Structure 1
Amino acid sequence: MTPITEVEGRRLALSNLDKVLYAASGFTKGEVLHYYATAAGALLPHLRNRPVSFLRFPDGPDGQRFFAKNVPPGTPTWVRTAEVRRSDGVSRQILVQDLATLMWAANLVTEFHTPQWQADAPGLADRLVLDLDPGPPANVVAACAAALWLRERLVDDGFEAYVKTSGSKGLHVLVPLRPTPSKDVTAYAKGLAVAAEQALPGLVVHRMTRSLRPGKVFVDFSQNAAAKTTATPYTLRARAEPTVSTPVTWAEVAACRERGDAGLLVFLADELGARLERYGDLLGPLLDPSRGGVLPTPG
């Protein structure tokens, strides 16, 4: 029998709670749901009012994965949605506005991905993101070196910069902005990526071409485009272990680079509760409109 639970007055059917999703550690679907309930206080503000794309992996990261933007069949009527215009037409996507919706979505076994804009201001980015993706044999240690250079450049341009692990191989550098057209943010982010490659030619590449990326850090600026999404802070990832896209301090980034220890920036679901108690939400400033910066005037 599928257990029925009540969350904030909503009845939810939570299925297959004993199913092992992460075989390497025996992490179950029930533990996935427990993680999202534990992290909800930090996660929900980063999801709220942003149309969600789901990377679903119902049989674990070794099984089938599929990316879904449209509202799934069987979505409860009380789940809020938003109309999103894309190049191929208009669709509706989920808005995760509350704990009940979060737990319903988590029961689908998913990564959460969100755009850099909110549903009531489509295409106006309120944050900039640079996805630092190391190409083997490079790892997150190399991404740390690139992130620290980018932070200095962003500070020189008058911005506050924050950082989180991708939960996969690399890092995401984030900047709060006053609402700015996504195309302008993308152009500025591309300029940063090009400048990083010029300053660190042995470390950084700004083009996606696969043959250029081994041993270097690809600074992906394209996720600032209005149609693109990035792994949401605190989302679980479909990796061998239940890793989390985790906000970190710049001191932790510097320590990882100095010690050359990639393991310093790997965080599993069962570690996040203690981190939140210690640090709170390190990306909280991204949620404060008064912290938003303004792009420098070209030329």
Structure 2
Amino acid sequence: MPGSKLEVDGRFIAVTNLDKVMYPGDGTRKFDVLQYVLAVADAMLPHIASRPVTRKRRPHGTGSGPFFEKALPSGTPDWLARFTIAHADGKTIYPVARSAADLVWLAQMAALELHVPQWRIDLSGVGSAGDESRRTDRLVIDLDPGPDVGLHRCAEVALAIRDILADAGLVSYPVTSGGKGIHVYARFPAPVKSESARAVAKQIADSLAAAHPKDVTASMAKTARVSKVFLDWSQNTAAKTTLAPYSLRGSERPLVAAPRTWDELADPTLAQLDFRDVLDRIGESGDLLADLDPAIDPVITAPDTNEPDSNTVDLGEYRKSRSSRLAAEPGPTRVTGTTAGIRPMLAADEAIDGLTDDAWAFEGKWDGYRVLARHDDGDIRLWSRSGVDMTADFPELRELGSVLRGFDVVLDGEVVAYDAGGRTDFGLLASRNHRDDDYTLAYLVFDVVELNGTDLTATPWGKRRQILDELTPVIEAAAIAEVPPLLPGPGADAAEHARANGWEGIVAKRRASTYQPGRRSPDWRKHKNWNDIEVVIGGYRPGRGGRSGTIGSLLVGLPAETGLRYIGRVGTGFTDADLAALLAELKPLTIGRSPFVGTLDKPVASSATWVLPKLVADVRFMDWTSTGHLRHPSWRGIRRDKLPGDL
């Protein structure tokens, strides 16, 4: 299903990849998620409307890891409300959802989980006031069952909390979290400071833990939670957030933080609910939390006269209008002829810790092949950073030709392979043609170099990113292509986010930087979470035992002024298919003498088969030995996009 536009509350929202499966457990598609969000909006909005929203995004569905996002990405529609919070390391601008259109836009961005604090903006004042001024009119206790503790035991503790709150004159409302536990909410008769709400919640948690020490704990220590229900009172702290009622979960199936009745919690067969169950219940009983949060006034929007008067528009019409407008904007000098062969701009190895969002943007560093793609009237050409034509290597990217009609464009990005866990795996990408592992190929686009004959290399990054954001719905209409969102800074936070998600690292780009083809510029800086190195294969030693008849280890080096400098042997990280393919590729390159400068150790050289140093490979290692060799190197794959002269 191609991209289109959906009209919600007078807003036209570009929606893409509607057939993408977001929940592999039952095949729920992005289309179904958008339908749920629209249907649940009236019930959900009162519980999040005056609260900044933090998101867990899953662009590849719940089969891959989440992308935790606080700050609004560039390209956010002007009509989405914002709220700025001052943190110790700077200010962060959060979205505030007030209408169904806001929820649909968040869902289109694959923000499946919406988390909000308990305090409300309209009770705490506007601007970026500190945590001490945050005020709330509700309390929450998060019941998190420890290992081997079932949902029914969790419900028994929730019923005890209900009784304590009732004795204090507070009405409470249970919500099964969609995960393992239960949230219990209560409404205060008048607003209180967040720290006061936290103190009340802690008192309840401590009293229950004291009364039932074998079943309940209020301790944050994970070791104290075994066989117990942990009562997380800290969710009321101003800096904390909780999954919003009616929000989807990032689980295998589309489970929901679902409001329940207290009678249901007394049922020993209590279970978590999915979004279909929740919609049925709303149809029958309405919002069970209606008395928890005040109703909100609807957001009235004027008709958007720049858009067609219909619910959806054809992507072709959208493409034409965007193409005409972008091409008409003042810009740099127009160029003619092909840009194929241009070398991509490269990032320097420089520190990123002190870099801030105001001057720098932070992107993920992806573990794949750097590829420039040119589209011209339905034709797609691909080439590597070394100028190697890779069009035939990735026939899947021809799909871009059908969605980009109307745009003659040069894109810069990374071709990656996602493994079954949703993480990029260079080894899988490099050896995908002779392995049976499941993988998903994707082209992650992060820059636009030329558009409709206009050379954008002299255009600042910030402007190029705006153009890329405008093109995103078109690019992502191809199931194989994505435009990854930016990471919130500062640099240290972005690097930690990448590390926590198992990414290769991050790239920091100066917002004012131009695109400098083929140059490694300090205006772009890379930070790697692992020690990776690109090496040249100069020979191999035969395998023994289980590897008899194939390769035991590769002999690798780095180009130096006098020749190829030997840096060690790589003997791990291979699959049997890798070894067979490598042996077949290296045998025709066999030569009679060592390609390395100097003399290698006799035990190594005596059994080596030497090869022409033509193949570049990617190796991961721990550090360097005192003799200048790689310590604990591991094979990752051949770099088809590079030549030895590029190192």
Q: Give me the TM-score of the superposition, normalised by structure 2.
A: 0.43
1:217-236 mapped onto 2 (5 Å cutoff): 217-236=229-248
* Counterpart position of 1:97: 98
Instruction: Return the offset for 1:88.
Output: 3.4
* Counterpart position of 1:24: 25
Q: 2:150 aligns with which of 139, 163, 170?
A: 139
* Counterpart position of 1:296: none
* CA distance in structure 2 between the aligned counterparts of 1:254 and 1:199, rounded to whole angstroms: 20
8 Å CA contact 1:234–1:244 kept in 2: the answer is yes
1:214 correspondence with 2:220: no
* CA distance in structure 2 between the aligned counterparts of 1:86 and 1:149, rounded to whole angstroms: 37
* Counterpart position of 1:270: 276
1:238-253 mapped onto 2 (5 Å cutoff): 238-253=250-265
Q: 1:115 aligns with which of 114, 117, 121?
A: 117
8 Å CA contact 1:86–1:227 kept in 2: the answer is no
Report Cα offsets for 1:91-131 as digits up to 9, x if no partner: 21101111111100111122111111112333101110000
8 Å CA contact 1:17–1:30 kept in 2: the answer is yes
* CA distance in structure 2 between the aligned counterparts of 1:208 and 1:288, rounded to whole angstroms: 32
Matched residue SS, 2:196 = helix
Q: Amino acid of the residue matched to residue 166 of structure 2?
A: V
* CA distance in structure 1 between the aligned counterparts of 2:94 and 2:160, rounded to whole angstroms: 36
8 Å CA contact 2:145–2:228 kept in 1: the answer is yes
Report Cα offsets for 1:9-34 as digits up to 9, x if no partner: 21111111100111110111111111
* CA distance in structure 2 between the aligned counterparts of 1:59 and 1:240, rounded to whole angstroms: 13
Report Cα offsets for 1:63-87 as digits up to 9, x if no partner: 1212111112210111111122334
* Counterpart position of 2:207: 195
8 Å CA contact 1:124–1:180 kept in 2: the answer is yes
Bigger relative CO (Cα 8 Å, ≥ 6 apart): 1
Aligned residue pairs, count: 283
1:1-299 mapped onto 2 (5 Å cutoff): 1-110=2-111, 111-122=113-124, 123-177=134-188, 178-255=190-267, 259=268, 261=269, 264-288=270-294
Higher share of residues assigned helix: 1
8 Å CA contact 1:12–1:104 kept in 2: the answer is yes
Greater shift, 150-159 or 79-88, is seen at: 79-88
* Counterpart position of 1:295: none
Greater shift, 206-215 or 80-89, is seen at: 80-89
* CA distance in structure 1 between the aligned counterparts of 2:232 and 2:67, rounded to whole angstroms: 22
Which consecutive residues of structure 1, in runs of 5 or more, have no partner in the other structure?
290-299
Instruction: Return the offset for 1:62.
Output: 2.2
Which consecutive residues of structure 2, in runs of 5 or more, have no partner in the other structure?
125-133, 296-647
Larger Rg: 1 or 2?
2
Instruction: Return the offset for 1:58.
Output: 1.4
* CA distance in structure 2 between the aligned counterparts of 1:20 and 1:97, rounded to whole angstroms: 27
Instruction: Return the offset for 1:278.
Output: 1.8
* CA distance in structure 2 between the aligned counterparts of 1:61 and 1:205, rounded to whole angstroms: 31
Q: Amino acid of the residue matched to residue 213 of structure 2?
A: P
Q: Amino acid of the residue matched to residue 124 of structure 1?
A: R
8 Å CA contact 2:140–2:185 kept in 1: the answer is yes
Instruction: Return the offset for 1:146.
Output: 0.7
Give the alignment's Cα RMSD to 1 decimal.
1.3
* CA distance in structure 1 between the aligned counterparts of 2:6 and 2:276, rounded to whole angstroms: 23
